[in-house]
Amino acid sequence: MEYFQFLVIILFSPLVNGVIKKLKANMQGRVGPGVLQPYYDLLRLLKKDMVVSTVTSWIFKATPYIVFTATATAAVIVPVLSTASPYGMMGDVIALIYLFALARFFMALGGLDAGTSFGGEGSSREMTVAILVEPIMMLALFTAAISAGSTNIVRIATVHPAVFSPSHLLALTAFMVAIVAETGRVPVDNPDTHLELTMIHEGMILEYSGRYLALMEWAHYMKQMILFTLAIDIFFPLGIAQSGNPAILAAAVVVYAAKVTGMALLMALVESTRAKIRFFQLPSLLGGSFVLAFLSLVTHIMMGK
Amino acid sequence: METEQLLLFGIVLFVVGALSALVPVKTFRIVPYLLSLIGSLFFLSLGLILTAITPVSYQALSASSIFEFSLRGDALAGFFIITISLVASAVSVYSIGFTRNLVHAGLSGFFTNILILSLYAVVLSANIFTFLISWETMAIASYFLVTLNRSDEASRAGLFYAVMTHIGTAFIIALFLLLYRSTNRMDFEGMKAGIAAMPTMVKTVIFIFALIGFGTKAGIVPLHTWIPRAYPVAPPHIAALMSSLLVKMGIYGFLRISFDVLGQGPEWWGITVISVGAVSALLGILYGLIENDLKLFLAYSSVENVGIILLGIGASMMFKSNGLAALSSLALTAALFHVLNHALFKGVLFLGAGSIIHSTGSGNMEHMGGLLKRMPMTGLFFLAGALSICALPPFNGFASEWLTYQALLLGYQSPSVTAKIVSPLGGAALALTGAIAAAGFVKAFGVTFLGAPRTAGSRNAEEVPFPLVVGMALLAIPCLMFGLFPGPALSFLMPAVYALTGASTTLEHHGMLGVSQTSAALSPIGMLATMTVMMIAVMLFIRMKGGKRKTVYGDSWDCGIPGLTPRMQYTAKAFTKPLRIIYKRIYLPSRDINVQYILKPFFVKSIRYGSEITPFFERYVYEPATRFIQAVAGKVKLLQSGSLNLYLGYILITLILLLIFAS
């Protein structure tokens, strides 16, 4: 059972995105599409013919598969419902971050491959945001890893550190800002825009269509859910099953669903109440969050919790 | 006996190779490289043996007790010999195809052989005398290789390199003299034995001198300035040798002195090295990012990787002085593994850059584009190198950086608060460095190999000849192999780690890396297997749900206005513009806009726009220093008036002074 917990992420990640969209629509006084809309979109894209630019090379075609498989492998590493996950032997939290980096590397190359300005612009901005986010994420995760004495996610989730210690709250805040940036949400990027000059992620995948686009979108949904799950595992793991016992597992499913919904609600709230900020104001937002992550580390070392 | 023969054969092959290069017969041109290839294979087996046996000494040419030429092979030397051999053999194969492009093919072959041989001699040196002779041979051979094409730029770069390297050597000589004075021994083994009696103050001075002297060779910031000058003017296979191996001699020397000879130091040594490493890594890659010349970019990236290596070494020193031997061994393993990995992937990247220049006639990314279709093999190997250097799984750079992260994370086990804070910050610096490097290599690969060709040179580019492809493959394949199976690579360096730290940690079990202190594990092969399974699954799923669909080929999206040209692509300069703005406090850019009007302010005749990055260290450190030295030299020149009487007067004054002080 626990061997297949990654399927939760692969199968339900479009749903999570649908829920965020629905919540966002409701907050903004709209009805919005149903929560299953992302599934319909993916299936529709799979059935479409593709248009590929003649300028592109094999990188363009390999990218959707590499992005999808790297993200799916990250989904295997992160424990979802139970800490009895055997895949902690395959990689730790650092490996997870670097699998995302692998996906991003190829996505940025895919953006450059068609030889258009939009693709290049998207790639350039995506890599810039990554430069600002990566140290925050690593430092916040380091604080958690130091307090658990391990970078193994299963181990961090099992150790149950004092959840509301000051250092954890600081690290959590920093990590949340990093998640907003990594998933391409307002105020960093706007997932709904197709206005060329403001888009980051959408600009990069502008040339993709059909099943390639489906894979890219799906991978993006998965990445979002993995990051939610990672935050849950590391900062409030309470309720995650410690064994494969069916009753405990059933309880874990409920707790996990509640936590992910909470994260979705938070994202919808942030997106509805914030405006997208100018690209060059990002350093002050993310720089502030880096300071939080640093403070959380210092707090942990000075106070020991 | 056996190792002695291998050593002898190796040396003879390189010497004969060097001499054969001077034979002015055209068909003879590949001989020196064939000989250096065979020679490096001999040394490879020597290195493999040395990592498995107890240290051996080779005595030779003993003129007196001071001027004694002697070699000693131990595990550390063995590891470096393996690294040198892997790169040197690939570069030799590459050179076989490359040599016909060179201006002075004969001299180039001669000095290449001498350079490789001197690298081996440096790591095998048993005493000060041998070490300095080899060190200088290395410097001189590389100086001639840098300046071989005799352009003004090359001579200036060569001069700068020569000056910098000798400043470094001056510090090295000074530290050797200090060591000799307090231990009365010329050989490293003897010094090591006598080190206990040395006062801490002297040890500290030696440590600082080692950091400066060897750091100049390794290219730590702010002593890195010769690297971005020398590499771009050197022929690419020489740049590969220099970046992969020559800078590693700085690392070797530093390890030999501060780890092997000095043994254990106070904690702040390690923290200093971590800080120097973090600054070098960050500034190195930040300056590299904005460069659009392939070789220049790769040169700066060497500075970055030396920084990453120093992060590991610094952590190791810090743990050692706190008595945490197991952690010290983990950190040093990470550092040495990165030494090997960087040699491999930087080698393939420089050779790839050489192939690109060979085919397009330019080294500037802005002149390229679409090369992947025209040079598929070069592109593939360059991509492998880029993925490795960006530490992306499952390539080798990831394995060593992962170990470095683990070591830095474990810094919290040190007793002092400074160490606890500095080492995770080193980890954050490593994360930032990795992200910047990824941006840089997306730019380098994307602008060069993807999109549409920007100039005729790149439009007409063709795949390079076979030996060049093989040379690149010989380095790119180990990049993937050592990433998937770190076991063999670790077996090269574990004996050296054990010898230096006195502890050995078994990190590798069944193809999996495991750090027991953080209960963290990493299985690159498992990752690759998972990715493969996922790939097959998703392909089946697509086939099931989507069926067979056709692909239409057309133009890229042009917003409905036909006529997209290659010049409309995103350029390398544009790619890094956001970062030039964000990090303007580091780059200190100056811009210069000159507008000429026909009728101010409505009708503009012409706009000239120029922007420049302030090279901080050059402008605020090196230029003032140069001016000062020139001013002093100007004053000293007054002594030299040309009048014989005055010179006789000097002699008289000197004589009197000597008589006064000597009596």
Q: Is the minimum CB–CB distance between B522 and chain A shorter than 8 Å? A: yes
- Measured distance CA(B68)–CA(B62) in Å, rounded: 4
Of A56, A70, A121, the CB nearest to B570: A121
Q: Is the minimum CB–CB distance between B421 and chain A shorter than 8 Å? A: yes
Are A73 and B530 a contacting pair at CB < 8 A? yes
Number of structural domains chain A divides into: 1
Are B523 and A90 a contacting pair at CB < 8 A? yes
Are A127 and B442 a contacting pair at CB < 8 A? yes
Q: Kindly list the residues from chain B whose CB atom is less than 8 angstroms away from the CB atom of residue A65.
A: 535, 538-539
Is beta strand B603-613 parallel, antiparallel or unpaired with respect to B520-522? unpaired
pLDDT digits (tens, 9 = 90+) for B115-163: 999 999 999 999 899 999 999 999 999 999 998 877 888 889 999 999 9
Are B436 and A128 a contacting pair at CB < 8 A? no
Closest CA to B263 of B310, B315, B198, B219: B198
Residue A300: partners with Cβ closer than 8 Å, 6 or more residues away: A143, A146, A147, A165, A167
Token pair of A118 as six digits: 């939009």
In this prediction the ipTM stands at 0.96
User: How confident is the model at residue B543, as a pLDDT?
Assistant: 92
Bridge partners of B590, per DSSP, are B612
Closest CA to B310 of B227, B388, B248, B402: B248
Whether the pLDDT of residue B1 is over 50: the answer is no
Q: Is the minimum CB–CB distance between A118 and chain B shorter than 8 Å? A: yes
User: How confident is the model at residue A86, as a pLDDT?
Assistant: 79
pLDDT digits (tens, 9 = 90+) for B272-314: 999 999 999 999 999 999 999 999 999 999 999 999 999 999 9
**Residue the block writes with tokens 């892997």:** B86
- Measured distance CA(A156)–CA(A138) in Å, rounded: 15
pLDDT digits (tens, 9 = 90+) for B426-479: 999 999 999 999 999 999 999 999 999 999 999 999 999 999 999 999 999 999
The percentage of residues in chain B with a pLDDT greater than 70, rounded to a whole number, is 98
Task: Calculate the dihedral angle through the C-alpha atoms of B370, B371, B374, B380, rounding to the nearest 10 degrees.
Answer: -120
pTM for this structure? 0.94
Are B431 and A298 a contacting pair at CB < 8 A? no
Check: CB of residue A22 under 8 Å from CB of residue A34. Answer: yes
Check: CB of residue B557 under 8 Å from CB of residue A116. Answer: yes
Check: CB of residue A113 under 8 Å from CB of residue A57. Answer: yes
Are B436 and A131 a contacting pair at CB < 8 A? yes
Q: What share of chain B is helix, strand, coil (3-state, %, to 5)?
A: 75, 10, 20
Domain containing A124: what range?
Answer: 2-303
Average pLDDT over residues B345-368: 93
- Measured distance CA(B512)–CA(A91) in Å, rounded: 10
Closest CA to B625 of B155, B79, B222: B222
Cis peptide bond prior to A187, omega within 30° of 0? yes
- Measured distance CA(B62)–CA(B156) in Å, rounded: 39
Which B residues in the span 22-61 are in contact with A, Cβ-Cβ below 8 Å? none
Closest CA to B277 of B344, B221, B349: B221
Whether the pLDDT of residue B494 is over 50: the answer is yes
Per-residue pLDDT of chain A (305 residues; tens, 9 = 90+): 678 889 999 999 999 999 999 999 999 999 999 999 999 999 999 999 999 999 999 999 999 999 999 999 999 999 998 888 778 788 899 999 999 999 999 999 999 999 888 899 999 999 999 999 999 999 999 988 988 888 999 888 888 655 678 888 899 999 999 999 999 888 888 877 777 666 788 888 889 999 999 999 999 999 999 999 999 999 888 888 887 788 888 899 999 999 999 999 999 999 999 888 888 888 999 999 999 999 999 898 888 76
Check: CB of residue A200 under 8 Å from CB of residue A184. Answer: yes
Q: Is B562 exposed, middle or buried (0-12, 13-18, 19+ CB in 10 A)?
A: exposed
- Measured distance CA(B450)–CA(B532) in Å, rounded: 25
- Measured distance CA(A65)–CA(A41) in Å, rounded: 18
Closest CA to B289 of B592, B613, B616: B613
Of B405, B451, B578, the CB nearest to A112: B451
Q: Is the minimum CB–CB distance between B231 and chain A shorter than 8 Å? A: no
Q: Kindly list the residues from chain B whose CB atom is less than 8 angstroms away from the CB atom of residue A90.
A: 521-523, 526-527, 530
Q: Which of A39, A43, A45, A94 to mutate to test the interface with B (most CBs of B within 10 A)?
A: A94
**In which band, very low, low, confident or very high, does the pLDDT at B87 lie, cut at 50, 70 and 90?**
very high
Q: Is the minimum CB–CB distance between B402 and chain A shorter than 8 Å? A: yes
Are A72 and B534 a contacting pair at CB < 8 A? yes
Is beta strand B56-62 parallel, antiparallel or unpaired with respect to B68-73? antiparallel
pLDDT digits (tens, 9 = 90+) for A130-172: 999 999 999 999 988 988 888 999 888 888 655 678 888 899 9
What are the strands of the beta sheet with B508-509, ordered from one edge?
Answer: B508-509, B512-515, B520-522
Q: Is the minimum CB–CB distance between A146 and chain B shorter than 8 Å? A: yes
**In which band, very low, low, confident or very high, does the pLDDT at B565 lie, cut at 50, 70 and 90?**
confident
